[in-house]
Amino acid sequence: AETVRLLSSSQVITSVVSVVKELIENSLDASATTIDIRLENYGFDKIEVRDNGNGIKVADVPVMAIKHFTSKISSSEDLEQLTTYGFRGEALGSICCVSEVLVTTKTADDDISTQYVLDSTGHITSQKPSHLGQGTTVTVLKLFKNLPVRKQFYSTNKKCKEELKKVQDLLVAYGIIKPELRITFVHNKAVLWQKNRVSDHKMACMSVLGTAVMGSMVPFQHRCEDPEINLSGFLPKADSSSSLTSLSSSERSFIFINERPVHQKDILKLIRQYYSVLMQKDSTRLYPVFFMNITVPASAVDVNVTPDKTEVLLHYKESVLFAVENVLKTLYGPLPA
């Protein structure tokens, strides 16, 4: 049974970035407006995510890290109307299975916060009063202590640095889609990235991409009905002769479906196609900077495809692609025949 647990856990928790992703999604599901992420030794010694969210109810604490417990959905109808990032009740239990976990939490109803120590099966082994304010802090120590091969994968400096970059990219993505969210990212006591609360997506893009890049972008908005699809965001200006928006070194493109950062190769490909004609360059070497916020009915998205939820299945994919193409045609003109 232990081996089975370890195997299934290591599918959800594949890396430092996957731990961070699950923890910040929990913070967002708890309506946090401030999230601090602290890593030590690239996350392998310690990953700590602190939020000012709702906290965990005393009644939920004993089961919070038991696999398949979730406080977020209670019926299969809920699953079709999903508005939270989490729904499987798998993350916390999986993290316990591959590391040592402490959870400190306080709800508005609690007088003080309590720190709980969890074992590898997600059960609480001890608890003590703590001094933290409302919200939840999850501390993950010795990640992959029992998966030496996985740890070995990160034995080089290069791999570690890449992982750190991935964590930052992920935080940047949530920072853009949640303008009102304050994020601080610390590694070995050095602040690597920080974002303040801002009022809207434009300001969020500005703080992430810089004013110069934002100056060469245009906002777009597109709406279709039946199924209801809303597209909005920023794309490079059509007259953009500037290379600011076509950085080929790092990818600065952000696609969100119902506020989830996603990889949608088809959408990315479409944007690059139209953009490359405009720039008269080979699309394989162009990485346009853009932000695309797609909202579709919750029932149209199936996030249950991959354990880490970055690939989502869109039931109206054709309609979404059609809508994206509409935006691109309006902005850049039709593709040459």
Residue (137 or 245) nearer to ligand ADP, CB: 137
Nearest-CB residue for ligand ADP: 86
Residue (96 or 278) nearer to Mg ion, CB: 96
91 binds Mg ion (CB under 5 A): yes
* Residue 128 burial by Cβ neighbours in a 10 Å radius (0-12, 13-18, 19+): exposed
C-alpha angle with apex 250: 192 to 149, nearest 5 degrees? Answer: 70
What are the structure tokens assigned to 219, written together?
């906002």
User: Whose CA is closest to 58, among 102, 144, 116?
Assistant: 116
Give the separation between CA 244 and CA 213, rounded to whole angstroms.
6
Give the separation between CA 300 and CA 293, rounded to whole angstroms.
15
> Of these partners, Mg ion, ligand ADP, none, which one is at the site of residue 240 (CB under 5 to 8 Å by kind)?
none
Residue (98 or 229) nearer to Mg ion, CB: 98
71 binds ligand ADP (CB under 6 A): yes
User: Whose CA is closest to 179, among 151, 208, 152?
Assistant: 208
53 binds Mg ion (CB under 5 A): no
> Of these partners, ligand ADP, Mg ion, none, which one is at the site of residue 24 (CB under 5 to 8 Å by kind)?
none
Q: Minimum distance from CB of 86 to Mg ion (Å)?
A: 3
What are the structure tokens assigned to 69, written together?
């417990």
216 binds ligand ADP (CB under 6 A): no
Query: Residue 9: CA atoms inside 13 Å, Cβ hemisphere, count?
Result: 26
Residues forming beta bridges with residue 101, ordered by sequence position: 118, 140
Q: Which of 9, 10, 18, 70 binds ligand ADP (CB under 6 A)?
A: 70
Residue (27 or 120) nearer to ligand ADP, CB: 27
Residue (140 or 167) nearer to ligand ADP, CB: 140
The letter for the amino acid at 145 is K
Binding segment (CB under 5 A) for Mg ion, from list 22-30, 119-127, 201-209, 236-244? 22-30
The letter for the amino acid at 233 is G
Give the separation between CA 210 and CA 192, rounded to whole angstroms.
16
**C-alpha distances out from residue 117 to 6, 139, 271, 309, Å:** 19, 10, 48, 28
Q: Which of 40, 72, 186, 259 binds ligand ADP (CB under 6 A)?
A: 72
Helix (H) or strand (E) holding 20: helix 16-29
> Of these partners, Mg ion, ligand ADP, none, which one is at the site of residue 118 (CB under 5 to 8 Å by kind)?
none
Residues forming beta bridges with residue 301, ordered by sequence position: 314
The letter for the amino acid at 30 is A
Taking CB under 6 A as the criterion, which residues in 83-112 touch ligand ADP?
86-93
What are the structure tokens assigned to 148, written together?
């030496």
Q: Cα 9 vs. chain centroid, distance in angstroms?
A: 19
56 binds ligand ADP (CB under 6 A): yes
Residue (9 or 276) nearer to Mg ion, CB: 9
Q: Minimum distance from CB of 7 to ligand ADP (Å)?
A: 17
Binding segment (CB under 6 A) for ligand ADP, from list 19-27, 40-48, 146-154, 161-169? 19-27
> Of these partners, ligand ADP, Mg ion, none, which one is at the site of residue 51 (CB under 5 to 8 Å by kind)?
ligand ADP
Taking CB under 5 A as the criterion, which residues in 57-86 touch Mg ion?
86
List residues binding Mg ion (CB under 5 A). 26, 86, 91
Chain positions contacting ligand ADP, by CB under 6 A: 22, 26-27, 30, 51, 53-56, 60, 64, 70-72, 86-93, 136
